[in-house]
């Protein structure tokens, strides 16, 4: 076929890896944007941080799942 598709064991591996990287980058961008500055509640800020960490964990899990044979 070609050099790009021959090095992956699964056709969806590049898509899973790219999606996982995208989720991690977006969670880091969200932290840099500091969304907790726009609300006045500590509970809401904690929930936002838990969502950010959860998104990064899903991204890392997706990368691990895509790269594991």
Tell me what pLDDT residue 12 has.
84
Residues in the chain where the model's pLDDT stays below 50: none
Measured from the Cβ of residue 23, the count of other Cβ atoms closer than 10 Å reads: 20
Q: What is the 3-state secondary structure (H, E, C) of 41-52?
A: CHHHHHHHHHHH
Please give the helix or strand (H or E) that residue 22 lies within, else none: helix 13-33
Measured from the Cβ of residue 17, the count of other Cβ atoms closer than 10 Å reads: 17
């Amino acid at each position: 076929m070609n050099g790009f598709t021959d090095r992956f064991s699964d056709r969806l591996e590049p898509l899973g890896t790219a999606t996982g990287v995208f989720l991690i980058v977006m969670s880091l961008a969200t932290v840099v944007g500091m969304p907790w500055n726009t609300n006045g509640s500590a509970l809401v800020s904690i929930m936002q941080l838990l969502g950010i960490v959860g998104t990064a964990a899903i991204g890392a899990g997706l990368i691990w799942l895509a790269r594991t044979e």
